[in-house]
Amino acid sequence: MSTYMAKPSEIQRGWYVIDAAGHPLGRVATEAARLLRGKHKPIYTPHIDTGDHVIVINVDRAVLTGRKLDQKIYYHHSGYPGGLKRTIYRRIMEKKPEFAMEKAIRGMLPKNRLGRAMFKKLKVYRGSEHPHASQKPAVWEVR
């Protein structure tokens, strides 16, 4: 008996909504990454994008546990000597909570063209409204 490998023509993509309100940012990111990769499906194949589309809403109401709001730091570099920039997560969650969620989810996906294709199926919104109602997304509960 041989191992089953999904073919791109056999994949059926669904749409899921995850409500991040009151849940830890990392838990929501983990569930979203699982759905984007397709690990919740029995036809999961590591080298093929078998995942679904994911909509994350209420990102501004996601929580960081412990003292992460003041201790966790986001670093990026401008490309110039001495250009290391740092921002605490309290400021990121106030100004751009979508960025914090996208960064957490992107870090859980593969670092290649397959991961970039999976990331394109992610939609993140600050409030509870989203323009994808016509896709009839199912609600996915965060454990």
Question: pLDDT by residue (tens digit) across 37-73?
Answer: 999 999 999 999 999 999 999 999 999 999 999 999 9
Per-residue burial over 97-110, b = 16 or more CB atoms within 10 Å of its CB, e = otherwise? bbebbbebbbebbe
Q: Any idea what the Cα angle at residue 34 is, between residues 26 and 130, rounded to 5°?
A: 75
**For range 26-41, the mean pLDDT:** 97
Strands 84-88 and 73-77: antiparallel
Question: Would 131 be classed as within a structural domain?
Answer: yes
Per-residue burial over 21-45, b = 16 or more CB atoms within 10 Å of its CB, e = otherwise? eebbbebbbbbbbbbbbbeebeeeb
CATH code of 49's domain: 3.90.1180.10
Per-residue burial over 54-82, b = 16 or more CB atoms within 10 Å of its CB, e = otherwise? bbbbbbbebebeeebbeebeeeeeeeeee
Residue 1: predicted pLDDT: 78
Residue written as token pair 């100004």: 95
Question: Would 83 be classed as within a structural domain?
Answer: no
Question: Would 6 be classed as within a structural domain?
Answer: no
Residue 32: predicted pLDDT: 98
Question: Would 46 be classed as within a structural domain?
Answer: yes
Question: Would 8 be classed as within a structural domain?
Answer: no
Would you state the structure tokens that stand for residue 105, as one six-digit string? 């989810």
Note down the domain range covering 49.
14-64+92-139
pTM of the model: 0.94
Residue 120 or 4, more confident: 120
Q: Which tens digit of pLDDT belongs to each residue from 99-132?
A: 999 999 999 999 999 999 999 999 999 999 999 9
Question: Would 84 be classed as within a structural domain?
Answer: no
Residue 143: predicted pLDDT: 86
Residue 108: predicted pLDDT: 98
Domain count of the chain? 1
Question: Would 26 be classed as within a structural domain?
Answer: yes
Question: Would 80 be classed as within a structural domain?
Answer: no
Q: Which tens digit of pLDDT belongs to each residue from 68-103?
A: 999 999 999 999 999 999 999 999 999 999 999 999
